[in-house]
Amino acid sequence: MPDPDSRPPRIPTERQSVLDPPASLAELRKRCPVAPLSYADGHLGWLVTSHELARKVLSDSRFSSRPELRHSAVHEVLGDGQPPEEDVPGMFVGMDPPDHTKYRRLLTGELSVRRMRQLEPKIADTAHELIDRMLAENPSGSADLVTSFAIALPSRVICELLGIPYDRWEGIQPVSEKMLRIDSTADEVKECYRVIFEFLADVVAGKQRKPTDDLLGGLVESAELSAEELTSVAFQLFTAGHETTANMLSLGVYTLLTHPRQLAALREDPAQLDNAVEELLRYLTVIQFGISRGALEDVEMGGEVVRKGQTVTVSLPAANRDPARFTDPDTFDITRQPTGNLAFGFGVHQCVAQQLARSEMRTGYGVLLERLPELRLAVPAADVAMRDGAIVYGVQTLPVRW
Ligand code: HEM
């Protein structure tokens, strides 16, 4: 049995094939689904790779989300840099129940399936507008889908949802883009966070003066949260909702374009779109690092004992490729029933906006396929640069033709 004191390995980051998680994760899942792990800052913890144990960690109240207990989550891959989540009221991603419950309860109603379905026509209009603009600005019939579409769609949708006028947002868009760039330094990202936080604080103050009919307006009206808490809630929705959806959209298109038979099946029967979205979520699992918890007491699992105070990292990509849960897990198959996949996490912190994300993907892929029947890569697939080592995996750019 491995000894956590003998400097265990860091989390594997190197992919042998661009759409598959590092092969050594599969090896670990088979041999040792709770394996000792070293973090970039030198501290030791555990890496969980099986579907069953990933669910256990994420749903067991003996594992905490408080940042001081899982402080090295961001340090799995990065050597430095920490988002400014410490000590700001309302940062519910880093809370445990019952503190966490208050925010989730307020947000669940605002982000219900019904409300998100109602938002879909607006998302579709936005997707059409972006494609109109991409076609008009690129008469050569070629563009980078990441900047023209995949980043722009979630940005506009979040503004719509939160009730941020788009012209105000456009002033801050370069900051948001910088925050998402893989070559930005940790300090630059931190500065972007600060600027966005200030911008959102100002938006909240405006809504407190003059109520509006949108998600933030609704939260202001409920009078349950302070201005600082409201700003934190807006900030978390804003930052968590951009990079994830943008990368799912662009990497999802890359995946479809490099699996022509699956793409043809989807074009032939668009009713399969819901299922295809679910399978893309499972197969790509873009949040490849950074999901961690701290043990509040000793916990025995997978034949190991996680000691009180230790950090446990859950590999969602490894869990979603677990053959004990999904038949033939490394095959991308839009006809499978991929329910139960962990792309949105599990337990009390499971993605609060997953219905919105599904609506954005369903609409985003749907409109792209409908409007661009000849859509194809503009470069060989092997030349598309990937976001290797980024917490949210994806393509760096996606040159396409139509
Ligand atoms: C395909 C796109 C998305 C993916 C794959 C995704 C994935 C996830 C995952 C795995 C978690 C759990 C984190 C953990 O357990 O530590 C999470 C939480 C969260 N997500 Fe998403 N997400 C997506 C889209 C969005 C969008 C569009 C928004 C906002 C508009 C959003 C807002 C949040 C928030 C606020 C949390 C924290 C919830 C909590 O702590 O209770 N996500 N997401």
- CATH superfamily of the domain spanning 85-285+329-401: Cytochrome P450 (1.10.630.10)
3-state secondary structure at position 36: strand
User: Is there a contact between 308 and 30 (Cβ–Cβ < 8 Å)?
Assistant: no
Distance of CA 350 from the midpoint of ligand 1 (Å): 7
- HSE at residue 373, side-chain half, CA atoms within 13 A, is 3
Distance of CA 240 from the midpoint of ligand 1 (Å): 6
pLDDT in tens, 250-262: 999 999 999 999 9
Distance of CA 98 from the midpoint of ligand 1 (Å): 19
* Element at 38 (helix H, strand E): strand 34-38
Q: Among residues 129, 193, 119, 188, which one has the least CA distance to residue 159?
A: 119
Average pLDDT, the chain: 91
Residues of the chain with pLDDT under 70: 1-6, 71-87, 180-182
User: Is there a contact between 385 and 395 (Cβ–Cβ < 8 Å)?
Assistant: yes
From atom 21 of ligand 1, which residue's Cα is the shortest distance away? 351
Look up residue 86 and give its two tokens: 């410490």
Look up residue 97 and give its two tokens: 């129940």
Tell me the CA end-to-end span of the chain in Å, nearest whole number. Answer: 55
Q: Report residues whose beta carbon is within 6 angstroms of any ligand 1 atom.
A: 58, 92-93, 104, 158, 236-237, 240-241, 244-245, 248, 286-287, 291, 343-345, 349, 351-353, 356-357
- Give the helix, strand, coil percentages of the chain, each rounded to 5: 50, 10, 40
Distance of CA 271 from the midpoint of ligand 1 (Å): 26
Distance of CA 392 from the midpoint of ligand 1 (Å): 12
Closest ligand 1 atom to residue 158 Cα is 30
Name the phi and psi angles at 396, rounded to 5.
-80, -45
Q: Give the integer Cα–Cα distance in Å for 111 and 109.
A: 5
What was the pLDDT predicted at 79? 45
What was the pLDDT predicted at 115? 79
User: Is there a contact between 327 and 82 (Cβ–Cβ < 8 Å)?
Assistant: no
User: Is there a contact between 352 and 108 (Cβ–Cβ < 8 Å)?
Assistant: yes
Distance of CA 144 from the midpoint of ligand 1 (Å): 26
User: Is there a contact between 73 and 310 (Cβ–Cβ < 8 Å)?
Assistant: no
Closest ligand 1 atom to residue 342 Cα is 10
Whether omega before 98 lies within 30 degrees of 0, making that bond cis, reads yes
What was the pLDDT predicted at 240? 86
What was the pLDDT predicted at 12? 93
Q: Give the integer Cα–Cα distance in Å for 260 and 268.
A: 12
